[in-house]
Amino acid sequence: MSGSPQSSPQNLPRVSLRSDLRLAWLLTRGSDRREWWRVTLTAVGAGLATGFALGAAALASVSGWYRIPFANGLLDEPGTRDGVMFALLLLLAPVLGFLGQCARIGAVHRDRRLAALRLAGATPWQVRRIAALESGLACLLGSAVSTVFSVLFMLRIGPPSAAAWLGFALVAVAVPVLGAVVSAVSLRRVVASPLGRVRRVRPATNKGIRALLLATVLLTAVAALMVATGTRGRFNGLPLIVFTLVVLTGMGAVWLAGASARLIGRLLATRARSAAVLIAAERLRDDPWAAARSHAAALLVAIAGTGFMGVREVLLEGLDPKYAYAPYSPEDLAFYNTGLDLTAAAILVALAVTLGGLAVGAAESLATRRRGLAAQAASGVPREVLGKALLLETALPLAPAMVLAGIGGMGVSTWYAVLAGDGRPAPLLPLLAPFVIYAACVLTAAASLPLLRRTVRPAELRYT
Amino acid sequence: MNHPTDTSVPLLAARDLTKSHGRTPALRGASLELREGEILAVTGPSGSGKSTLLHCLAGIVRPDGGSVAYGGERLDRLPEKRLSELRRTEFGVVFQFGQLIPELTALDNVALPLLLAGTARGQAQAKAGEWLERFGVRGQGELRPGEMSGGQAQRVSLARALVTGPRIVFADEPTGALDSLAGEQVMSALVHTARETGTAVLLITHDAQVAAYADREVQVRDGAVVPQGVAV
Amino acid sequence: MIAMSTRHILLGLLAGGPSHGYDLKRRHDERFPQARPLAYGQVYTTLQRLVRDGLAEIEGTDSDGGPERTMYRSTDEGGRELEKWAAEIAPPAPFVTNEIFAKVVVSILAGGDPAAYLQAQRTAHMERMRQLTAVKTAQGADLATVLSADYALNHLDADLRWMTTTAARLTTLTTEVYAS
């Protein structure tokens, strides 16, 4: 540790930063397998986030009609390009959910280690910086890999403009910095006490969420002002608005997922008749936010998926020569089809990332509770009951969220059908989407059941 | 310390148990008998195989060799489903800590084995309440394990182990995480209740003062039970 | 409890008021459960010595219908002596008197089986600990009983722990005993 707790870290900032960095590296290197999982998966998430953001930045750097030799001319028009940008920014939502789940891997272990650092005399600021460096480094790794590949790709297309370079540099730096900042902020309660947290105690009001909300509202206001005054044109204002909308929707979804989990937990805890429901309900009530981020992402994907399927059906019918009012050229058809395929691909990627987050969360929850679960199995609680509780933990809070997503998505597609306006009824096929996504989420949770089998081994009972 | 007169047929009998964890042998031919209603202490230094012996006897772990007989059934041969059922209905288990579900209240934790057996929630809670009362922790019924003292949590664990009216309670260092006074309260609660209900107790401990609560003591050393009554 | 002074305990019991020998014995056995009971003869000779040293005096006799009994009471000097004794610390184990250790060493010297002896001693210790635990946990046991049983249990437990470590080091001890 550099210096006593009394000496302010401002005295020798360079030396202490370097020693903190060394300490962060030592701790990461010496940590157990699960922490390596966290670092690896965080890097993967950061890489995905960087990739999507870089794509958006590259598209934003182009103005007006510009020939891009990809996607059947979809990227040539400013209008559709904005759409693709919107989709790319939207993809950040599930990635953030995924990163949120990754941060939980080995969290108990890490919290304990940081508390030990505090006991050994590190200042809260130092501990926070060490932890921030750890996540920052992981994010830097992901962002670096992603940036290198994106730059190579850009160079193949043609010489990037100065604006593109600037955008790239901004994104490549912003991802690790944001990762470090978020990790420092989320650790504020752990570093407060050298004795660490004995049990989860959640503050009554979440100042962090409020601050984030305030920042988002301010950002929206600034963006709106910029668009309204029109001084810098829509190119700079629109992505900001879009991003703000994404963040706001995401936060709303997280809140909805958490709040519904808590409500369901409370309602069922008193009414449960079977052991599995009781255990699941009490766990939801105890920590409704545990899976809220993943569930929120699933919710958004379900809305987008349902809406998209509706829009797609209406659009394709419109393109069908049978109904067509004006004949479309093959180029036009390819253009529309590519657009639809790209959107479908984006939604599938989002779903995959979301399911990845869910799987990580389920595995982590099992790993953290392995001793308790082994004790339950030893005292005769059947493994099926434990497994059922695990599935219910995912299935219960997701059910109302999926109903809501179905309604939202159907709203979008119905609205679009009405807009297309030839009196045809809104397609019903999209109603399948929430069910399919729900099933996928529950199946992902079920995929962690073999892990449960390994977890409840009596070897876990051998405590020291 | 008055056993039932018929001590010829033991309630639980293990013969020549062997068990290895990987390459490390934990049990090398351990034999032991537990009589009806008897409180038996199993003592020995740490690493001697006490816990593994308990795991084999309670049907938590299948031994590599040897036999465990319980009321005409061979525990070492039963399928996991039946073992789980036995542990839930005929055995009670108390560990050093960890057997309470942290998210459930004390009352629901005690009611859990009854719920698993198909008892209605209200009825299960009423019976769980009686058992909490018996162990002097009725007032803690709405608390969760993290909100109780170690001694209170262990008494809730005892209530959970005994609520189904088991024939044997397996206790692995039940006072290991407690100070001596809380440990005494837990032990006398366990012993008094076991005698009242005629429940046999297999008590694993490294503490002679805890072992002194039992009717009889056997020692485990290097994975085997030391022969008793070695005369001077 | 070996070094416990009967003189001072009787003086302490007299501090509450005059009393006769039989009553003192009864109160002693009540107040110190699990201790070795006082013999009446011992009470009588101790009281005589207290009178001789001026720490107690004869109050008178009291027949109370039955046989005649001599009543004793504490003097001022007796009160001072008692105060001094109660405040004095008990010397913490000035000599190590360990019969078990002596038996182990003698057993090695005589070519006996010290391990078997230790095992048997352990069994005896455990039996006594079970008795004391039963006394302590019996319904309605008063605090004096619990505390005196605890005292003995802790000492027996210390013996047991010592025996366990000794049993594990018998080989080394044997070599050492034979070498010297």
Name beta bridge partners: A181. Answer: none
Contact A458 B89 (CB under 8 A): no
Q: To the nearest whole angstrom, how far is the Cα of A457 from the nearest Cα of chain B?
A: 9
Q: Report the predicted TM-score, pTM, of the whole model to 2 decimal places.
A: 0.74
Contact C137 B208 (CB under 8 A): no
- Separation between Cα atoms, residue B167 and residue B35, nearest integer Å: 11
Q: What is the pLDDT of residues A249-273, one digit of tens each?
A: 767 777 888 888 899 999 998 888 8
Q: To the nearest whole angstrom, how far is the Cα of C36 from the nearest Cα of chain B?
A: 22
Q: What is the pLDDT of residues C101-155, one digit of tens each?
A: 888 888 888 888 899 899 999 999 999 999 999 999 888 888 988 999 999 999 9
Given a contact cutoff of 8 angstroms between Cβ atoms, the answer to whether B172 and B92 are in contact is no
The CA-atom distances, in angstroms, between C32 and each of A107, C26, C37 are 56, 10, 9
- Separation between Cα atoms, residue A57 and residue A126, nearest integer Å: 34
Contact C157 B45 (CB under 8 A): no
Contact A275 B112 (CB under 8 A): yes
**Average pLDDT of span B66-90:** 90
A64 touches chain B (CB under 8 A): no
Interface residue of B48, B196, B209, B219 to substitute, partner C, most C CBs within 10 Å: B209
Q: Is a pLDDT exceeding 50 seen at residue B229?
A: no
Q: What is the pLDDT of residues B174-191, one digit of tens each?
A: 998 888 889 999 999 999
Q: To the nearest whole angstrom, how far is the Cα of B218 from the nearest Cα of chain C?
A: 10
Phi, psi of A303 (to 5 degrees): -60, -50
Measured between its terminal Cα atoms, the distance across chain B in Å is 25
Interface residue of A390, A461, A464 to substitute, partner B, most B CBs within 10 Å: A461
Q: Which amino acid is at A212?
A: L
CB contact residues (below 8 A), chain C span 105-124, against chain B: 116-117, 119-120, 123
- Comparing C-alpha atoms, which of B110, B107, B89, B91 is closest to residue B99? B110
**Average pLDDT of span A168-190:** 79
Name every chain C residue with its beta carbon within 8 A of the beta carbon of B183. none
Q: What is the pLDDT of residues A197-228, one digit of tens each?
A: 443 444 444 555 556 556 656 655 665 555 55
Scanning every residue of chain C, which has its alpha carbon at the shortest distance from the alpha carbon of B189? C137
Name every chain A residue with its beta carbon within 8 A of the beta carbon of B89. 380
Interface residue of A273, A379, A460 to substitute, partner B, most B CBs within 10 Å: A379
Name every chain A residue with its beta carbon within 8 A of the beta carbon of B146. 198-199
Residue that wins the pLDDT comparison between A69 and C32: C32
Q: Quick check: do C and A touch, 3+ CB pairs under 8 A?
A: no
Domain boundaries, chain C: 6-87, 99-179
Q: Give long-range contacts, CB 8 A cutoff, 24+ apart: A325-332.
A: A331/A72, A331/A73
C169 touches chain B (CB under 8 A): no
- Collapse the DSSP code of A317 into the 3-class scheme (helix H, G, I; strand E, B; otherwise coil) and give the result: helix
Q: What is the pLDDT of residues A388-436, one digit of tens each?
A: 998 998 898 888 888 888 888 788 777 777 776 666 666 777 788 888 8
Phi/psi region, residue B35 (left: phi>0; alpha: psi -120 to 50; beta: rest), is: beta
- The pLDDT value recorded for residue A221 is 62
CB contact residues (below 8 A), chain A span 338-377, against chain B: 371-372, 374-377
Contact B60 A272 (CB under 8 A): no
**Average pLDDT of span A434-461:** 84
Q: What is the pLDDT of residues A290-316, one digit of tens each?
A: 777 778 878 888 888 888 888 787 777
CATH of domain C6-87: 1.10.10.10
